[in-house]
Every structure is written in C-alpha cells, then in structure tokens.
C-alpha cells in the first residue's frame, strides 16, 4: 500500500514529486512542501479536492486560475510549473516562495518610504505585465503578495482573476469580487467596471497600508466603510511625503475615468525616485562582448554552418518555413524560422535595417546578427539573436530567437516590423505558391 501523509495524501505523486510537510491551508486547498525527484528542487504543492470545488460550483474558477498562471510568467509573479490530477484531487506544482506574506511585515509596523517604494515598483511591474496579457487580478492585497528569501515580491492567488474575454458587451466586468477593504468603489457599485482601473485602486490601498501601517478606509460597520470608499474619504498621515500623498490621492480617486493610469504611475516622480541602479543582464553583457568575426572559442569564423541531416531533424519540431505569416491568437512563440534562396549578406543587411529602424543596437558577422533593444520593456530590454545556416550553398535557413525580454514584445516586433521587412526574401514552397495562385 502507498505511503500517505497524516491527512491521507500520497507522499509520492505521479512518481515525480515527494510530498512533505503541510505549509498552509485555506477553505478549498492545502499547500505542501514537495520535492521534484528528478531535479531535486523544492516546490509548493497546492492540493485542491475536486468534489469540494464541484459542490460549490468553483470548477470554472480553478480552470481559469490554471489558464491565467500559464500565461503570466514574470519575475514578480509566482510561477506555476505544472498541473496534475488524480480521480479526486488537482495538484498545482508551484514555485516555492519562502519569505512569507508581505502582510506579516506590515503587521510589525509601517515600512520606510524607500522600502515601500521597492515593493510597490515590483507590484506595479507584475500588474502591468498581467494587464498587457488581458488579465485582471481582482483580489490584490498584502496577503496575496509573497516575498522570496531575497525579499523579492511575488504576486499570487489568481483564483478571482478575469480575462479580457470575460468583458460584457459594454466592455466592462460585472462580477463583484475581492476583499472589501481593498475593493474599488465601482466594483461595489455593481455598475460594471474596468478590471485594470479596479486593480490600480487596490494597488493604491496597498501602497497606503505599506506607508501608514493601517488601512485608508476603516469602520466596524461595513456599510459605513463602503460609504467612505465611494466618497474616497481618507486622510494621509503627516509622515507621508508630498509626492507619496499626491500619488496615493490619484490612485484612490473614486472616479475611475479620472483615476491615474498605470503608465502615469510608472512615470510619476515618487515611483521613479531611487529606482534600483540598472544592472546589465547576462544578455546585454554577451551582446557587448560579441565579436562578429569570432566563434565561441575565439577562433576566426567566416563560413556559414552547413546543416546536415541530423541538424535538420533536430530543428524539425515546428520546422515551418513560413511561421512569420501565421496569426495565432494567444499563442506566444520565442523563436521562428524561415528559409530563403537569397545570399546570407542580403539577409544580414535586411535584419540590420529592421533593427536600426526599431532603435536596436546591431552587431553582426557573416552568419549571425544580434539586436539589443535600448528601451526597457516589461521584462527588461528585448534582445534578439538571428543565426543563418546553409542547407545547400544556395538554400539557407534563418533562425530568429528571443534572447531576452518579453515574449509578447518579441512577437509584436516580429509581426509589425520583421514580417513586412522579410516578406519578399522568404522562400515559399511551390505547393504553397500554387495554393495561393488558386485563391
């Protein structure tokens, strides 16, 4: 008989994870420490009982949480590694965040403004990323903000989140949800609301709590508290700096149409003050070190690498010679390939033109092009690597990969800039040509 934990869960899951001690529990889920037996890495294993969630009609919510967490991979969001299931349970293998809740820090007293700013910057970075994916959290509060062992903030609990697809015909969300003290007035009002603006209100409440050590809207009577929220009736303590006061007032504007936007928050004086010094990423350092005429061993390299049959087989997964021209909703790719009968020098010139037009720094050799973005995106500066391989002397395959930055930004660059620029040099098979001729 299989070994089980003290509350009946198997200690070995799918032959892959060893379940350990209980870390915490809620109404519908328990979270255990677990170890991946293949990698030896620790994870947090969230265990949800199917029968319980079906009974209260929460199965759709669980499915939504899985869909959302697969989409939102960001340094300040708890990562979902994989989902498994048995007849009676659903298992979420998640990133183990060891530093506890941000809430426990505030319980000890308010934070210094510079410390609060660092947490708030990370929160806004994560929420901006979610919104760029059409995801609205809808339950932001310090209890759902975890800290890792280095003090880095991680947003968790996407159980109440919504997609853009959940908008009604009026373009608004209509489900009232969230924690009363952190909920925006328009959510309470049941008139329909913009998920991004509602999340920003919650961020405003969180910033206030970090700096004050208590809530902006407090009352033992929930109706009286809602009345204060509706009116935006709060006072900033005297120790708030004038810049912090100004930002919080704009975030806790009860009128969503005049409430500050996330881009304006990021552009505000208070937010930009003491932004941690930019540390160059590994990709930026590699770009600077890239010498187009040398290979990885420092040897002079002028020849195109010739692909043999084994290379082609290794590239064959998704070896689609025209991926630049496909529209795939919601699917994000970190690389693409295309074939061309043009010489490598023509491909390199074209990639260089596209890069410079898009404000990228460009480095090149006879078989490689490296593009390094200048502007910081949602996940750092976008870096792109293009490598050219010869199948025959007159038939080349070009592989374009995201080296760093945000996948969505890479995809947008490919569709808006790269695709139009390369259209006339991409090889299309005779079969595709004849299909096009018939259309």
How would DSSP label each residue in 52-90? HHHHTT-HHHHHHHHHHHHH---TTBPPEEEEEE-SSEE
SS3 content of the chain, % helix, strand, coil (to 5): 35, 25, 40
Instruction: Please give the Cα distance from 108 to 103 (Å, whole number).
Output: 9
What are all long-range contacts of 414-419, with beta carbons under 8 Å and residues at least 24 apart? 414/324, 414/336, 415/324, 417/354, 417/357, 417/358, 418/324, 418/354, 419/324, 419/325
Q: Which of 7, 114, 128, 139 is catalytic?
A: 139
Q: Which of 413, 403, 410 is nearest to 283 (CA)?
A: 403
Q: Which of 333, 378, 411, 414 is nearest to 131 (CA)?
A: 378
**Count of CB atoms situated within 10 Å of the CB of 26:** 11
How would DSSP label each residue in 124-142? HHHHHHHHHTTEE-----G
Determine contact, residues 260/250, Cβ cutoff 8 Å.
yes
Beta bridge mates, 43: 34, 95
Question: With helix as H, strand as E and coil as C, how does 94-111 read?
Answer: EECCCCCEHHHHHHCCCC
Judge whether 406 counts as a catalytic residue.
no
Determine contact, residues 424/406, Cβ cutoff 8 Å.
no
If 0-12 CB within 10 Å is exposed, 13-18 middle and 19+ buried, where does residue 169 land? exposed
Q: Which of 348, 206, 318, 185 is nearest to 258 (CA)?
A: 185
**Count of CB atoms situated within 10 Å of the CB of 274:** 12
> Is 273 known to sit in a ligand binding site?
no
The structure tokens 């930002």 sit at 247
Backbone angles phi, psi at 128, to 5 degrees: -60, -40
3-class state of residue 27 by DSSP: coil
Q: Which of 143, 144, 42, 148 is nearest to 99 (CA)?
A: 148
Residues with a known catalytic role: 139
The binding site comprises 50
The binding site for ATP comprises 50
């Amino acid at each position: 008989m299989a070994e089980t934990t003290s509350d009946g869960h198997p200690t070995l899951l799918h032959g892959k994870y060893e379940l350990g001690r209980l870390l915490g529990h809620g109404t519908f889920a328990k979270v255990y420490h677990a170890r991946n037996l293949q990698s030896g890495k620790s994870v947090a294993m969230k265990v949800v009982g199917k029968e319980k969630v079906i009974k209260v009609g929460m199965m759709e919510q669980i499915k939504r949480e899985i869909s959302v967490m697969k989409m939102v991979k960001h340094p300040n969001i708890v990562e979902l590694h994989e989902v498994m299931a048995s007849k009676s349970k659903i298992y979420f293998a998640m990133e183990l965040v060891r530093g506890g809740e941000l809430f426990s820090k505030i319980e000890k007293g308010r934070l210094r403004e510079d410390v609060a700013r660092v947490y708030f910057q990370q929160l806004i970075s994560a929420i901006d990323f979610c919104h760029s994916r059409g995801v609205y959290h809808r339950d932001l509060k310090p209890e759902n903000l975890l800290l890792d062992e280095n003090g880095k903030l991680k947003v968790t609990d996407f159980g109440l989140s919504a997609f853009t697809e959940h908008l009604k015909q009026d373009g608004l969300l209509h489900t009232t949800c969230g924690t009363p003290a952190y909920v925006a007035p328009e959510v309470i009002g049941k008139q329909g609301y913009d998920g991004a603006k509602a999340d920003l209100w919650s961020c405003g409440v969180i910033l206030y709590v970090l700096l004050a050590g208590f809530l902006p809207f407090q009352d033992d009577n929930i109706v009286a508290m809602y009345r204060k929220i509706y009116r935006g009736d709060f006072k900033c303590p005297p120790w708030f700096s004038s810049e912090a006061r100004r930002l919080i007032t704009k975030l806790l504007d009860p009128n969503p149409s005049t409430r500050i936007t996330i881009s304006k928050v990021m552009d505000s004086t208070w937010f930009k003050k003491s932004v941690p010094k930019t540390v160059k990423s590994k990709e930026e350092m590699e770009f600077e070190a890239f010498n187009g005429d040398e290979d990885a061993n420092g040897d002079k390299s002028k020849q195109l690498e010739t692909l043999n049959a084994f290379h082609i087989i290794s590239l064959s997964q998704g070896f689609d010679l025209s991926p630049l021209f496909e529209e795939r909703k919601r699917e994000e790719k970190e690389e693409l390939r295309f074939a061309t009968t043009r010489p490598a020098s023509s491909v390199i010139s074209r990639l260089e033109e596209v890069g410079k037009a898009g404000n990228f720094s460009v480095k090149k050799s006879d078989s490689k092009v490296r593009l390094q973005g200048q502007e910081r995106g949602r996940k750092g500066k976008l870096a792109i690597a293009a490598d050219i391989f010869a199948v025959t002397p007159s038939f080349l395959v070009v592989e374009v990969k995201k080296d760093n930055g945000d996948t969505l930004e890479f995809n947008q660059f490919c569709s808006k800039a790269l695709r139009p620029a390369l259209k006339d040099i991409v090889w299309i098979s005779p079969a595709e040509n004849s299909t096009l001729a018939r259309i």
